[in-house]
Structure 1
Amino acid sequence: MSNRNEQIEKRERAERLKIAREASNLGGYRKLATRFGWNENTYKSHERGSNGFSVTVGLEYAKVFGVSFDWLYFGRGEMREQNQSLPNITDVPLISFVSAGQLTEQSAVLKLTDYPTIPAIDLPKGRWIALRVEGDSMNKISPPESIIFVNRDDRRLVPNACYVVCDETGAATYKRYRPNEDPPFHPASYHDVDPPDLEDPIRVIGRVRRTVLEI
C-alpha cells in the first residue's frame, strides 16, 4: 500500500474513532484516560490521525465504545452490528489485600466508596472488588501486578476455581481450591511455592472471575 493510501486509511480510521467516542457518551479525552488508564496524549494522537493504532488497541476501543471492530478498523459494515448494545461498564473498587480481609467483618468497617476504582466491561451481576496481585504464587493464572476481579456474592467452593480467602487473623490471600489436598487452598505457580499457613476458621471473601494484566 502506498504512503498516500496509508495516510488516507489512518485519517478515516481516526474519524471513525471520534464518531465512536462521541456516540458512546463516555466523555472527552481526559475523562477516558482517567477511567480506563489510557494515556491521554496517545489517545488524542489516535483520534486526530497523527498516529495510527494497532489491531489490539482497536479491539479495546471497539469494546469500550460498543461498536463493531470491523467498522472501526476497516470501515466495513455498520457502526453497530444488529442488536449490538453498548457495553455494561462497572467501576470496581480497587483495594488492597489487607483491606480485603476486613470484608469478612461488619460491612461498616470498610467503606468501599473511599477507594479508587477501575473499570470492567460486562461483568456478571454481583458485588465486585478488584485487587492488585502481589508475588508469584499464582503466576500461572495471574502474574504479579495483575488485577483480579472478585465477586463477593459468589462464595460457593468449586474444585479448581480460584478464590480470595481470609483466615482467623484477618490475613487475605488469593489461591486455587483443591478439596482433595491438605490444605485445600493451593498456589498455581511456575515456582516452588508452599501453600499458605491459614488459621481456622477460613472464610471465603469471593470467587475470582477475571484477571487482567496491563502492559
Structure 2
Amino acid sequence: MATKSYNHTMARQASYKSPASTPINQWVRDALEHSGMSQSAMARELFARKIISADDRSIVNKMAHGRDISTNEALAIADITGFPILPESHPVVQVPLLSTVSAGALLRDDLSDEALSTISVAELSTGDWIALRVTGDSMDRISPPESIIVINRNDKRLVTNACYVIADHEGNATYKRFRADPMRFEPVSTNPVHEPIFPDHEPVIIGRVKKTMLDM
C-alpha cells in the first residue's frame, strides 16, 4: 500500500506543470539581472511602494516564472530597475506634476517651484515632458476631471485633431483639441456650455498632450 501511495503521489507531481513563462516574465528576470537586485530586495521595494501587499520574495519569483503581472507592477519594476518594459520601448520617465494653470509659468525653463511631485510614465519619446491635473469638464470625453494629462513642450506643431495646452485670452493655460479651416481649439465635452476658441492668430502653445492617465 505504501508503494502504491508513493507512486500515486509521484504521478500527480509529474503531471503538474507550472504556468508557462511568458515574455513579460522573461522581462522581469532581465530587469532583475540588469539591476543586480535580488528577488528579496525587489520585494522590499515593491512592498514599500504599496505595489504588493506583503514583503514576500516568492511573489517576485512568481512574477519571473509564469505569474501574470499588472501594469502598475510592471511600471514600478521598470522604475526601480531602470530597465525598459520592452527592449524596443522608451524607458520610464519621471515627469513633474505641476500645480500651475498660468501659461507663462508653464513656459519657464525652471519649473521646480510649480512641481507638486513627479510621476512615472512609460512609453514617452524624447521630449520636454510636464504633467497637469485636469480641472473642469471641457475635455471630459477624453480626459475626465482629476485625470492627469502628459504634455510634450517640445511638440508645438499643430496637427488637426491633436490636443494641446495653449494660452487663452487671459494668459491662463487651457486644454483643447485643434481644428483647422477655420483655426479653432475645441472642447471635447459632454457639457454643451463650452465653446470653441477662435484665435485671431496662432496662440502661444505650451505643448501637445500625448497621454491621459486616470485612476479608477
Band the TM-score falls in, shorter-chain normalisation? 0.5 to 0.7
Shift of the 166–43 alpha-carbon distance from structure 1 to 2, 3 Å rule, reads: farther
Partner of 1:163: 164
Superposed displacement of residue 193, structure 1:
3.4
How far apart are 1:22 and its partner, in Å?
Answer: 3.0
**1:200 and 1:56, CA in 2 relative to 1: closer, same or farther beyond 3 A?**
farther
Contact kept in structure 1, 2:75 and 2:92, CA below 8 Å? no
2:93 is matched by which residue type in structure 1? T
Q: 2:53 aligns with which of 42, 45, 50?
A: 42
Q: Determine helix, strand or coil for the equivalent of 1:150.
A: strand
Q: Name the Cα RMSD after superposition.
A: 4.2
Could you say which residue in structure 1 is the equivalent of 2:9? none
Q: 1:30 to 1:167 in 2, by over 3 A?
A: farther
Deviation of the 1:149 alpha carbon: 0.8
Q: Deviations over 1:140-194 (max 9, x none)?
A: 1112221111000001111111000113532111111122357x11111122231
8 Å CA contact 2:51–2:72 kept in 1: the answer is no
Q: Say yes or no: does 1:211 pair with 2:212.
A: yes
Runs of 5+ in structure 2 lacking a partner? 1-12, 79-83
Q: Closer, same or farther in 2 for the Cα pair 1:63/1:103, shift >3 Å?
A: closer
1:97-150 Cα offsets, whole Å, 9 max, x none, are 42554123x535x43685411011121111000111112211111122211110
Distance 1:156 1:61, change over 3 A: same
**TM-score scaled by length of structure 1:** 0.63
| Counterpart-to-counterpart distance in 2, 1:168 and 1:43 | 52
- Distance in 1 (alpha carbons) for counterparts of 2:47 and 2:102: 26
Q: Which residue of 2 aligns with 1:146?
A: 147
Retained in 2: the 8 A contact 1:93–1:112?
Answer: no
Give the Cα–Cα distance (whole angstroms) in 2 for the partners of residues 131 and 113 of structure 1: 11
Compared CA separation, residues 143 and 20, structure 1 to 2 (3 A): farther
Q: Distance in 2 between matches of 1:43 and 1:87?
A: 30
Q: Percent identity?
A: 36
Deviation of 1:23 after TM superposition, in Å, equals 3.2
Q: Secondary structure at the match of 2:53?
A: helix
Return the alpha-carbon distance in structure 2 between the equivalents of residues 111 and 208 of structure 1.
Answer: 21
Q: Which amino acid aligns with 1:189?
A: S
Other structure's SS at 2:130 match? strand
Alignment partner, residue 107 of structure 1:
109
3-state SS in 2 of match to 1:98:
coil
Question: Which residue of 1 is the match for residue 133 of structure 2?
Answer: 132
Asked whether the equivalents of residues 186 and 195 of structure 1 are also in contact (C-alpha less than 8 Å), the reply is: yes
Contact 2:150 2:210 in 1 (8 A): yes
Under a length normalisation based on structure 2, what TM-score does the superposition of the two structures give? 0.63
User: Distance in 1 between the 2:42 and 2:204 partners?
Assistant: 42
Q: Structure 1 residues 200 and 168, CA, compared in 2 at 3 Å: closer, same or farther? A: farther
